[in-house]
Structure formats: C-alpha cells, structure tokens
C-alpha cells in the first residue's frame, strides 16, 4: 500500500459550494485502488512542505477571503509556481482559479491583485453566470464531456491566446459567457468555475488526478473501478442540458 497526501489550502476561507467533496472523492477512489490517501489542511501562515505533498486543492471564497489568501501566498508564489511547472497536480475552483491570474477588477473599479501565474484578467459584473454547464475537454489525448455547476459574477478573459482552456463550452457560460472557453489547463493544473462538486460526477477527471499522483511515485493504478453510479449522475446532467 502506498500513501498519498493532498493539501487542502485554506479550508476555513476557501470553502464555498461544497467543493470539499472533490477531496472526499479523490480520497475514497484512491482507497478503492488499495492505497492510503490523507487530506492535510494548510491554513494562513502555515508552511507548505511540498516534499510531502502529492496534490494541491484550493476552492472558492468571497473577495475578502481571496484577499487574505493572496497576501499569504504572494511572498512564496515563486515556489508554488515552480512546483506547478514541475508537474504537481493542482485543482483550483472559482475564486482560487481567479487568484492565479493577473487581477480581479470589481464592479466598483477596485482592483484585487492576483498571483500573476497566468496572463488572464477577471472583471466583476452585476449579473452572475449561474446554472449547470457542459463542456468538452481533452485529457491525456482523449476528448471527454465534463459537467458541473457554475455561479460566478467574474468574467475571466485570456490576454494570451496561447493559454489552453480546461475545455470548450457546449452548454452554459464558462469563463465569460462569450468566447466558449472554460477554465485553464496547464501541465497538471486545472483551474475551473465548475462546482458541483466537480469530481464525483466526472470520474475521468478524478482518475486523471489519481493516475498523475501515482505516476509521480512510480506506481501504476491497474484496478478498474465500477463507475456506474458516477456515470449515471454525469449522464443525467448531460442529457438535461442537451435537451434544453
């Protein structure tokens, strides 16, 4: 039995919309594969021991919470980005996804700085983009459908055409409701607006993270999980969206 550790960054601040379910999904699926998986909470001011971490997860939060997280991370952002470049698996949802960009410009014009890992801007709008969403994504060379739920006021726009979205919108809004792009995919990092939580209804994405974590330890996950219930939940959302 191997052991894996997923760092849950700022669980007391970035905790909207039940996205902790992504961690529970990964933990249980890794256990079904016969390996141990532990969730390690990292709070403000706590050192991140990357050598003992297999994956990083950050969820969504309000503007105030995002500001606190930014001030905590900005002084050590170079180390964080270096591990992203090295292939560390990372999942950032909603507010955490916005935080990776240049800045967030609120409706009243106030600017909240981002970590500037990627060249995109998020601008706030009065009307929120809310509803179920269906995208097509390419994961390890295979095109798959991904479903989720989005609820965001921010409109994220890439300033660099070379940036790769997590997927392209079939139904829903995505990054900004206009260009059909949803989220970002870079190395083994995914940033996305998809709540739900994302992974329980998309076992293909969950397995992508599991296999990546295992591969970085030199381990192959050979067992095949029974995803009947997960796929049924996925297809129910997909069919409902395609029928509208």
Active site residues per annotation: 94, 195
Using alpha carbons only, how large is the chain's radius of gyration in Å?
A: 17
CA dist., res. 145 & res. 155, Å (int): 22
Contact 178, 78 (CB under 8 A): no
CA dist., res. 183 & res. 158, Å (int): 10
- Helices (H), ranges, the chain: 21-32, 63-73, 77-85, 95-99, 203-216, 228-243
CA dist., res. 226 & res. 203, Å (int): 10
Distance of CA 198 to the CA centre of its chain: 8
Tokens of 222: 């050979």
CA dist., res. 223 & res. 168, Å (int): 30
CA-CA-CA-CA torsion for 6, 11, 15, 20, nearest 10 degrees? 30
Tell me the backbone φ, ψ of residue 182, rounded to 5 degrees: -130, 125
β-strand partners of 41: 8
CA dist., res. 212 & res. 102, Å (int): 28
| Helices 228-243 and 203-216, packing angle to 10 deg | 130
């Amino acid at each position: 039995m191997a052991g894996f550790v997923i760092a849950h960054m700022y669980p007391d601040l970035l905790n909207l919309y039940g996205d902790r379910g992504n961690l529970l999904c990964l933990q249980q699926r890794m256990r079904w594969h016969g390996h141990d998986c532990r969730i390690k909470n990292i709070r403000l001011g706590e050192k991140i021991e990357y050598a003992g971490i297999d994956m990083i997860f950050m969820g969504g939060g309000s503007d105030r919470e995002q500001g606190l997280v930014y001030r905590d991370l900005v002084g050590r952002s170079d180390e964080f980005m270096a591990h992203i470049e090295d292939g560390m698996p990372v999942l950032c949802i909603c507010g955490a996804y916005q935080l990776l960009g240049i800045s967030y410009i609120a409706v009243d014009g106030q600017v909240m700085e981002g970590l500037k890992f990627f060249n995109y801007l998020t601008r706030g709008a009065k009307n929120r983009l809310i509803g179920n969403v269906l995208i097509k994504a390419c994961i390890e060379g295979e095109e798959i459908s991904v479903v989720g739920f989005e609820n965001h006021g921010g409109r994220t726009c890439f300033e660099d055409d070379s940036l790769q979205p997590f997927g392209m919108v079939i139904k829903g809004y995505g990054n900004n409701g206009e260009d059909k792009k949803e989220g970002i995919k870079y190395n083994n990092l995914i940033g996305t607006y998809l709540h739900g939580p994302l992974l329980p209804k998309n076992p293909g994405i969950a397995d992508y993270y599991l296999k990546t974590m295992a591969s970085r330890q030199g381990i192959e996950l050979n067992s095949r999980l029974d995803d009947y219930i997960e796929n049924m939940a996925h297809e129910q959302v997909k069919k409902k969206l395609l029928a509208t």
